[in-house]
Structure 1
Amino acid sequence: MTATVFNPAAEPVAIPASELLPWVIFGSLLLLLALYFVGAEQGATSLISGMYVHEFMHDGRHLLGFPCH
């Protein structure tokens, strides 16, 4: 004889918004910081003096379509 084993289907667990919100805020801040350094860290809006950040992010600017020349 064979025995039949009942395996109930796994049900998804809901994640409360109160637990998800801090991660969304953290990710958004990281995204905005990266967008600033890739897109605006040069010229009049520069927070860091010199061209070090501009040169470090130069290829990323061109890859994402930001003009820099």
Structure 2
Amino acid sequence: MTDRAAARAAKSALAARLSGDPGVVGIGLSRRDSSYVLTVNLADAASAPRVPGDVDGVRVVTEVVGAVRPL
């Protein structure tokens, strides 16, 4: 089980790692079952292989949401 503090620390590390990737449009925390996971929002599925499956023991899940544009 991953607690919120561990997930936040892993999120910072993942954000630094993926900051230059144009296919990554967002990174957040989500609850899955009784644990926290990192959620990486992607512009397209082609970016998924560049996202690790876990960071510091925290599971990473991806979701293709498309391009993000301001309203």
Higher strand share: 2
Question: Which structure ranks higher in relative contact order (CA pairs < 8 Å, sequence separation ≥ 6)?
Answer: 2
TM normalised by structure 1 equals 0.27
Larger Rg: 1
